[in-house]
Amino acid sequence: MRDREILLAVTGGVAAYKAAALASSLVQHGAKVTAILTAGAEKFIGAPTFAALTGRRVVRDLFDEGEPLGAHITLARQAEVLCIAPATANILAKLAHGLADDLLSTLYLSFTGPVLIAPAMNCEMWEKPSVQRNVAQLKEDGCQFVGPEAGWLSCREKGPGRMSSPEAIFARLEEVCKGLPEGE
């Protein structure tokens, strides 16, 4: 993980708190992490948390004034891996259908490296045929997935949809990074 450029995109869900633990672990293992927070993510966890954990500013807006080429272009060119954790049903649909109406969905279309997605949502949502079609499409497009797991969900039910642990996501990111050329 040392010196690997990782984009950690956090979408709106209760599991966003786990992304903070993932960011911390990545940095402790030498990765260079840039966090992207969607508007929904900021309803659950704040940018200052990720800025403190990564030592980098958090990017939240497609039209960030600090990025004259566009944040989606600059970040896509800088990163080696894009990890979306948690990934909501909404972002899965946007990515599967090529929609680009915010920083993350636009960045995804600009990014050419490996993408690791860690879904998190209510069990009924996860099992919905439309969500499963979107997951199948993203897998066909080359995205890799970790989870979701079955377990206790914030909706007070047990079932599939729980985001994988930060440790499991970290382990998958390690595998992805091992497949990258050195010095990229």
Residues acting as catalytic residues: 155
Token pair listed for 15: 């599991």
| C-alpha–C-alpha distance, residues 62 and 105, integer Å | 10
Q: How far is CA 126 from CA 92, 114, 165, in A?
A: 11, 23, 17
172-181, Cβ contacts within 8 angstroms, sequence gap of 24 or more: 172/116, 172/144, 172/146, 173/1, 173/6, 173/26, 173/81, 173/83, 173/116, 174/1, 176/81, 176/114, 176/116, 176/144, 177/1, 177/4, 177/80, 177/81, 179/114, 180/4, 180/80, 180/81, 180/113, 180/114
